[in-house]
Amino acid sequence: MKGLLASRKFWAVVFDMAITLTVYFVAKYIPQAAEDVKFVIAVIQVPFAGFILGTAWEDSSEKSNKATELSEEDLKEVAAYVQQLPM
């Protein structure tokens, strides 16, 4: 649960839902604004979707880089192995 509350994607989705629901209910109770509300919702969704996808891509690339990084101990083992090779 702690990881979820620290997630940028989670808070972006929560914020997006809050804005969308607020705008939807404004349109519901003020019918004259319905067309404008549909436009606002459509415009708001694009940047939020881009932010969430970009953050997910960034997170996945960070995780894949960590899997291929060598620790200092790994580097020492490689250096010891290379020194043992006949030259």
4-62 pLDDT, tens digit each:
777 777 888 888 888 888 888 888 888 888 788 878 878 888 887 888 888 878 877 77
Task: Specify the pLDDT at position 67.
Answer: 52
Q: Given a cut of 80, is residue 83 above it in pLDDT?
A: no
Chain Cα centroid distance, residue 28: 31
Task: Give the C-alpha separation, 28 to 67, whole Å.
Answer: 50
Determine the straight-line distance between the first and last CA of the chain, rounded to whole angstroms: 54
Domain segments of the chain as ranges: 2-84
Query: Which residue is associated with the tokens 């580097």?
Result: 75
